[in-house]
Structure 1
Amino acid sequence: MKLNEFDYHLPEELIAQEPVEPRDSSRLLIVNKETGELSHKKFRDILNILQPGDLLVTNNSKVIPARLLGEKVGTGAKVEVVLLHREDKDAWHALVKPGKKLKPGTSISFGNETMVAEVMSTTDVGGRILRFKYEGVFEEILDKLGNMPLPPYIKKQLSDKDRYQTVYAKEKGSAAAPTAGLHFTEELITELKEKKIEWAEVLLHVGLGTFRPVAVENIEEHKMHQEFYRVTKEAAEKINNAKIDGRRVIAVGTTAVRALETAAARGEISDCEGWTDIFIYPGYQFRVIDGLITNFHLPKSTLMMLVSALSDKEKIMKAYNSAIEERYRFFSFGDAMLII
């Protein structure tokens, strides 16, 4: 299967630059995964679309202010760092810019030497392992010095950092938001539960595996970067019970899908955690999910491949073309799609 099969042309003005208010007023494109039939709704309409007994599974990872702007010690050259995940207490895997000039042994200063990082080594994906030196609590310093790691296609700065978090985010560790969940409000979640729609939470810290570009023409040759996931005993019981009862399991976001399908590869879902590099593309046989709430994804991305696997590539491309014609808003702060 070739990379260009997942390409499409998106007018630049359809790339959402800021979130809508309220969160659940975004648009919702519903795709029948069997027939490809499309319908256009508002996100709040899921109250009437989902059925009592459906189980929504979300990713409760919280985005850290992972983007740091610093200077190369000795030259003052500007440096940008995006933290991906911890190696140990003070060492992090990170993406750096400009990469070629940041060789092992280089030091980077942040906040007038409030914190200094030394480049320890390079990684197999072109990143760096940085070891930080500071006084105090790392997380508190990061909250002061760091910025939300918004994707490069978003040009506007956020006035409210919390708008790049889901309302149910709990455990810090992601370098990007699980954006399908950005459409939920506290009030909508309460109304869903009152309608007997179940709710379960898993964890996958979003890192390089989710947004690393596919650089090979034959997609089967692409290797995903590992990301940390966790499924609790409570979540596992809810999911297993839903499957036994024949109720629908609907993932909120592709990261929730990857956590669930990784856990299911072990057999019946049980509480588990670890690192996953699962790559889902057309031909994959889903073990857990029956439906997916997701945003509109970048052309030729692994996320496009995942959503195409749940229905089929032609139906998803038809849905994307319809969304473009109807002037939906795309990507992280854009509108939503329900494949069911």
Structure 2
Amino acid sequence: MKLSDFDYFLPEELIAQEPAPKRDESRLLVLHKNGGELEHRLFRNIVEYIEPRDVLVINNSRVIPARLWGEKEGTGTRIEVLLLTRRDEHTWEALVRPGRRIPPGTRINFGRELSGTVEAILDDGLRLIKFQYEDEFERVLDRLGSMPLPPYIKKQPQDPERYQTVYARHPGSAAAPTAGLHFTPELLKEIRDQGTSIVPVLLHVGLGTFRPVKVEDITRHRMHAEYYEIPPDTARVINETKAKRGRVIAVGTTTTRCLETAGRHGGELRPCSGWTDIFIYPGYTFRVIDGIVTNFHLPRSTLLMMISALVGRERLLKAYEEAVRRRYRFFSFGDAMLII
């Protein structure tokens, strides 16, 4: 398949620059896989489409203040560092700008309490950076780092917690699993109270999720690996749900990558952890999920390709055309889709 097959027209003013005033008051486009019917609702109406025998699977990763600004030692050149994957206590894979000026051996100072030395250039132009600090790294990062918002969002939100899900628990992501931003504690309680199980997985969002596709033949694209975990209780509940013919509804593409990685060999889902570089595009057979809660994705992105695999490219792009016509808000702080 061609990269150009996943393009669509989006007016710039539909790119959401801030979240809805209340999380569950964003709009919800419901797309039915069988038949392709569309419904236009509010997100809080999602409870009407989730049945007691279903299971809702969430990604409880938490975004860290992964963007750092420093100066190249010796020249004072301003350097942006985006932390992506932690290798060990002191070492991270990072995206560095401007990268061409940062060879191995470069020392970057981020103030008196933090510095880093570039140890190697990795695939995709990433740098391996070993940091030096005295306090706990997480505390230093809280003081010096900032929320790594996507480049199409031009300002930081007034409340940084609006770029975290209400169930975020485990720090490690460089971007939010944004499909979950619409849930409130009250809405989650309403879903549980009707008998639906809600279980967590973990996938730390890194370069694999938002790295652009640069090849016209999408089958040549290679995903960057991201760390994931599926706890024992989550595997058990999903298997029980499948046994009683309930649906597994994933909240977001990151949750989907996690589940489909674990289930790629078929059979019962087992608790596991590791690194996934799974790339899902049309032609893929889903083995675990039956539906998905998701946001509207960038043209030509791997996320758009994944959703196309679930519902069909033409059907999805028609739904996106309707969303544009009805002035839905797109991308991270935008509105949501439910595909069932």
- Fold conserved (TM > 0.5)? yes
Query: Which residue of the partner structure matches residue 286 of structure 2?
Result: 286
1:245 is aligned to 2:240:
no
Query: Which residue of the partner structure matches residue 62 of structure 1?
Result: 62
Query: Which residue of the partner structure matches residue 304 of structure 1?
Result: 304
CA contact (8 A) 2:53 2:244 kept: no
Query: Which residue of the partner structure matches residue 317 of structure 1?
Result: 317
CA distance in 1, matches of 2:265, 2:232: 15
Measured after TM superposition, the shift of residue 48 of structure 1 is: 1.5
Amino acid at match of 1:290: D
Measured after TM superposition, the shift of residue 34 of structure 1 is: 2.3
SS at match of 1:100: helix
Equivalent residues in 2 for 1:248-259, closer than 5 Å: 248-259=247-258
Query: Which residue of the partner structure matches residue 8 of structure 2?
Result: 8
Query: Which residue of the partner structure matches residue 172 of structure 1?
Result: 171
User: 1:90-144 CA deviation, whole Å, 9 max, x = no partner?
Assistant: 000000100100111111111x231001011111111100000011100000011
Query: Which residue of the partner structure matches residue 218 of structure 1?
Result: 217
4+ runs deviating over 6 angstroms: none
Query: Which residue of the partner structure matches residue 88 of structure 1?
Result: 88
SS at match of 1:30: strand
Query: Which residue of the partner structure matches residue 124 of structure 1?
Result: 123
CA distance in 2, matches of 1:182, 1:94: 25
- The unaligned stretches of length 5 or more in structure 2 are none
Query: Which residue of the partner structure matches residue 79 of structure 2?
Result: 79
Query: Which residue of the partner structure matches residue 265 of structure 1?
Result: 264
Query: Which residue of the partner structure matches residue 135 of structure 2?
Result: 136
User: 1:283-307 CA deviation, whole Å, 9 max, x = no partner?
Assistant: 1000011100000000000000000
Query: Which residue of the partner structure matches residue 101 of structure 1?
Result: 101
Equivalent residues in 2 for 1:12-51, closer than 5 Å: 12-51=12-51
- The unaligned stretches of length 5 or more in structure 1 are none
Amino acid at match of 2:5: E
Query: Which residue of the partner structure matches residue 208 of structure 1?
Result: 207
CA contact (8 A) 2:85 2:94 kept: yes
Q: How many residues align?
A: 339
CA distance in 2, matches of 1:90, 1:262: 29
Q: Percent identity?
A: 60
Give the superposed CA RMSD: 0.7
User: 1:212-237 CA deviation, whole Å, 9 max, x = no partner?
Assistant: 00011001111111000000000000
CA distance in 1, matches of 2:318, 2:112: 52
Amino acid at match of 1:18: E
SS at match of 1:316: helix
Q: Mean Cα displacement is larger for which, 6-15 or 47-56?
A: 47-56
TM-score calculated relative to the size of structure 1: 0.99
CA distance in 2, matches of 1:163, 1:262: 29
CA distance in 2, matches of 1:109, 1:18: 32
User: 1:54-111 CA deviation, whole Å, 9 max, x = no partner?
Assistant: 110010101000000111111111110000011111000000100100111111111x
Amino acid at match of 1:308: S
User: 1:29-52 CA deviation, whole Å, 9 max, x = no partner?
Assistant: 000112111110000001222212
CA distance in 2, matches of 1:39, 1:6: 23
